[in-house]
Structure 1
Amino acid sequence: MPTISPEERRAAPAKAAAVRRERAEVREALKRGRLSLGEVLAAESDAVRKMPVRALLESLPAIGKARAARLLGELDISESRRVRGLGVQQRDRLLDRFDPQG
């Protein structure tokens, strides 16, 4: 494990809170329709790229935990897959299903 300085150790909780806040904002924007799934998948933010795909699906309107799990199986995406780990075909299947415009 890398060693971190005392300053980095003190800053870690604030950094983690900022990441959680950004992810919550993205999930809320998805739920409200202010962001499309295509826009989220194209995001360059590390916080978004490290989000589980399952969490994104659960943020879409009318999709809960059970339906998100079923959809991951149908789309051949692992339950533990993160946004940055999606392959081209997996990304395309998601966009075809939930974001036909883009």
Structure 2
Amino acid sequence: MPLPPLTDTARQEALRKAVARRRERAEILHEIRSGRASLQWVLERDDEAAGRIYTRRLLEALPSIGKIRSLKIMKELGIAESRRVQGLGHRQRERLLELFPPQAEQATEAPTASQI
């Protein structure tokens, strides 16, 4: 069934919301890359922004993990390439945290809005 046609105003509002969501996901990944946030912090979040990140992209944001290594890890853990963080099972989350335990110097709590 096709989507109903949107008015120009509704389309612009939908685009604004989509850009804001993408920006929020990018900020989360940036926090991981910079070391200000840990994998545990992302996996424990219960919001849409963290949940909609592809697991592959999340792993690639970790230090010294590239495309090949992230795919290998996901295959070993039985995680589909298209799986998002919100779709990970309890055991898959536990095994990821075993592989990538939070470091003492990494933050395990959410960065404040001023830090993002």
Structure-2-length-normalised TM-score: 0.78
Q: 1:23 is matched with which residue? A: 25
Equivalenced residues, count: 102
How many Å separate the matches in 1 of 2:38 and 2:63? 11
Larger CA Rg, structure 1 vs 2? 2
How many Å separate the matches in 1 of 2:102 and 2:62? 14
How many Å separate the matches in 2 of 1:34 and 1:4? 42
**RMSD after superposition:** 1.9
**Which is richer in helix?**
1
Identify unmatched segments of 5+ residues in structure 2.
109-116
* 1:71 corresponds to which of 57, 69, 73: 73
Judged with a 3 Å threshold, the aligned counterparts in structure 2 of structure 1 residues 85 and 4 are, in CA distance, closer, same or farther, namely farther
Q: Deviations over 1:19-38 (max 9, x none)?
A: 11111111111011111101
Give % identity.
Answer: 46
Judged with a 3 Å threshold, the aligned counterparts in structure 2 of structure 1 residues 9 and 61 are, in CA distance, closer, same or farther, namely same
1:57 paired with 2:59, answer yes
Judged with a 3 Å threshold, the aligned counterparts in structure 2 of structure 1 residues 100 and 34 are, in CA distance, closer, same or farther, namely closer
Contact conserved, 2:39 with 2:102, CA < 8 A, in 1? no
Structure-1-length-normalised TM-score: 0.88
